[in-house]
Structure 1
Amino acid sequence: FPNGTLVIENVERMSDEATYTCVAKNSQGYTAKGTLEVQVMVPPHIMPFEIEESIYYGESVQMTCHASKGDRPMSITWTFEGRDLSTNMGIKTMKMAEQTSFLTIASVTGAHSGNYTCIAKNRAGEDRYTTSLHVKVPPRWILEPTDKAFAQGSDAKV
């Protein structure tokens, strides 16, 4: 552009990350020079992950969230049903290196059923991946049956 602006569209690390020098010259022949460094930041990209379909009450579950792309520093966090994880639910998270995080539940219950989201963030952006956990729980009595006695010939309702 005539005003000295350099526009780089669809920036790529391999081709555009470099040192750039701008030289300005006026009608009297004077020049001024400025140098700048352009760094191209890559946002995180989470590899998709799934949970087994048949998870039964009392079993353990582990989810692995891995960001295969993205510049450091990077943070990885988890949410359950859109909210920060509650520590009293028996859910533990552990970060392995900067691009991988594990979520572990030692003994699942029906309360653990729902959507788990892994969020990877860095200065260039963020990525999210959500998967669902469906815990199969045994049936339970809402009102436990009790023995009843009825007079012969009467109507019985249980």
Structure 2
Amino acid sequence: FPNGTLVIENVERMSDEATYTCVAKNSQGYTAKGTLEVQVMVLPRIVPFSFESPLFAGQASQVTCLISEGDQPLDIQWYFEGQPLKEKAGVTATKIAQRASLLLIDPASWSHSGSYACIARNAAGMSNYTTSLEVHVPPRWIIEPTDKAFAQGSDAKV
């Protein structure tokens, strides 16, 4: 632009991250120059993951949130049903590397069913990936049946 503005559209680290110098010259021939560094920050990219299906009560399952690209430092967090994951019975989240976190469910129970999200943050922003877990459980009695005796000819309701 005539006013000296440089516009770089759709910045890419490989082609646009560099040192840029602007030189201005006036009508008397005087020049001024300024230099700046352009650093391109890369958002975290999460490799898609999913729980094995079907998963039955008592079994174990794990997923790994792997950040395949993105500038460090990275902050990786797990969410359950839209809320930060709280360590509870049978659920463990462990950072296993700078770019990876493991979520282990052992033993699985009905209360572990729901949506799990991995959220990765760095200076460039945030990315997330969500998957669902469905734990199959055996049926259980709400009210356990008991033996009843009825008089012959009466109405029986159980």
Indicate the TM-score class for this superposition, using the shorter chain for normalisation: over 0.9
Three-state SS of the structure 1 residue aligned to 2:88 is: helix
After TM superposition, give the deviation of residue 42 of structure 1 in Å: 1.1
User: Which residue of structure 2 lines up, in the alignment, with residue 146 of structure 1?
Assistant: 146
- The answer for the alignment partner of 2:113 in structure 1 is 113
Give the deviation of 1:80 after TM superposition.
0.4
| Structure 2 residue aligned with 1:19 | 19
Q: Structure 1: which 4+ aligned runs deviate by more than 4 Å?
A: none
Can you give the 5+ residue segments of structure 2 that lack an aligned partner in the other structure? none
Q: Partners of 1:3 and 1:69 in 2: how far apart?
A: 37
Q: CA offset at residue 89 of structure 1?
A: 4.2
- 1:86 Cα shift? 1.8
> What's the CA shift string for 1:65-114, capped at 9, x where partnerless?
11111111111111001001122343211112211110111111111100
Share of identical aligned residues, percent?
A: 66
The separation in 1 between residues aligned to 2:90 and 2:79, in whole angstroms, is: 14
C-alpha distance in structure 2 between counterparts of 1:102 and 1:57, whole Å: 20
Distance in 2 (CA, whole Å) between partners of 1:8 and 1:79 is 36
Other-structure match for 2:126 = 126
TM-score by length of 2: 0.95
CA deviation string 1:100-139 (max 9, x = no partner): 1101111111111000001111111221111100000110
1:51 corresponds to which residue?
51
Q: C-alpha distance in 2, partners of 1:15/1:65?
A: 29
- Equivalent residue of 1:15, what SS? helix
